[in-house]
């Protein structure tokens, strides 16, 4: 009987761990940079899924207090060019992004194969300088989905507004 109680307790503890959000590791950040509007893009490796994940990233940015627009939905911005860090860091492309979206920063969220981790890169839309770089790591073997990484990115993006991140509501805290 004691053994089954111990097994049940261990299973409950593991189930609680699965509900933990991914770990966000800030690699670099410019504390002086502030933004009100961002242009976002997600690079999943699947062109059909990128717009959906970009919309999730835009919602997360809006939750962080930023105005957000998706680069995938602003067709005229890149004129059919593939979205990548190299593409959006070009001065001409940055000028087009600023004109068409009014963005102060460009946010790219890219994923490793198998959702092993995700990388968040934020570029100043004026200069092309990196103002925030972060890695999103799963608590388990892999991220549970693209939306989970987008939500984690939203908490990092709150640093761009200059306002403190909103505290977690009691019902948002995972209970083991």
Which parts of the chain fold into alpha helices (H)?
A: 2-18, 50-63, 75-78, 85-88, 91-101, 146-157
Strand, coil or helix: 24: strand
The answer to whether position 4 is within a domain reads no
The answer to whether position 111 is within a domain reads yes
The answer to whether position 173 is within a domain reads no
The answer to whether position 2 is within a domain reads no
Check which CATH number belongs to the domain holding 35 and give it: 3.40.50
Query: Quick check: 131 and 124 in contact, CB under 8 A?
Result: yes
Handedness of CA 95, 99, 101, 102 (dihedral sign): positive
The answer to whether position 112 is within a domain reads yes
pLDDT digits (tens, 9 = 90+) for 77-104: 566 667 888 888 889 889 988 988 899 9
pLDDT digits (tens, 9 = 90+) for 131-149: 999 999 998 888 888 999 9
Range of the domain at 31: 21-163
Number of domains in the chain: 1
pTM, entire model = 0.79
The answer to whether position 72 is within a domain reads yes
β-strands 37-43, 23-29 pairing:
unpaired
């Amino acid at each position: 009987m004691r053994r089954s109680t111990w097994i049940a307790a261990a299973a409950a503890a593991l189930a609680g761990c699965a509900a933990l959000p991914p770990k966000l590791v800030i690699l670099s950040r410019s504390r002086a940079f502030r933004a009100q509007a961002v242009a976002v893009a997600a690079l999943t490796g699947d062109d059909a899924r990128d717009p959906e994940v970009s919309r999730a990233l835009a919602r997360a940015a809006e939750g962080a207090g930023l105005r957000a627009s998706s680069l995938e939905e602003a067709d005229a911005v890149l004129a059919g060019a593939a979205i990548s860090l190299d593409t959006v860091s070009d001065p001409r492309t940055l000028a087009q992004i600023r004109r068409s979206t009014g963005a102060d920063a460009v946010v790219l969220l890219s994923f490793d194969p198998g959702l092993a981790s995700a990388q968040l890169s934020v570029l100043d839309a004026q200069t092309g300088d990196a103002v925030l770089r972060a890695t999103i790591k799963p608590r388990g073997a892999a991220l549970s989905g693209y939306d989970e990484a987008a939500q984690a990115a939203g908490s990092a993006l709150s640093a761009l507004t200059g306002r403190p991140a909103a505290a977690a509501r009691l019902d948002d805290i995972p209970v083991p």
